[in-house]
Chain A
Amino acid sequence: AQSVTQLDSQVPVFEEAPVELRCNYSSSVSVYLFWYVQYPNQGLQLLLKYLSGSTLVKGINGFEAEFNKSQTSFHLRKPSVHISDTAEYFCAVSELTGTASKLTFGTGTRLQVTL
Chain B
Amino acid sequence: SQTIHQWPATLVQPVGSPLSLECTVEGTSNPNLYWYRQAAGRGLQLLFYSVGIGQISSEVPQNLSASRPQDRQFILSSKKLLLSDSGFYLCAWSVKLGRANVLTFGAGSRLTVL
Contacts and interface: CB of A to CB of B under 8 A. Distances in A.
Interface residues of A, number: 27
Given A101-B100, A105-B44, A42 B107 contact: yes
B49 A102 contact: yes
Given A99-B32, A102-B49, A106-B43, A32 B100 contact: yes
Q: Chain B contact residues (Cβ within 8 angstroms of A): what range?
A: 20 to 34
B90 A107 contact: no
Given A90-B43, A90-B44, A45 B49 contact: no
B74 to A, nearest CB: 13
A49 B102 CA distance: 9
Interface of A: 32, 34, 36, 41-46, 49, 51, 90, 94-108
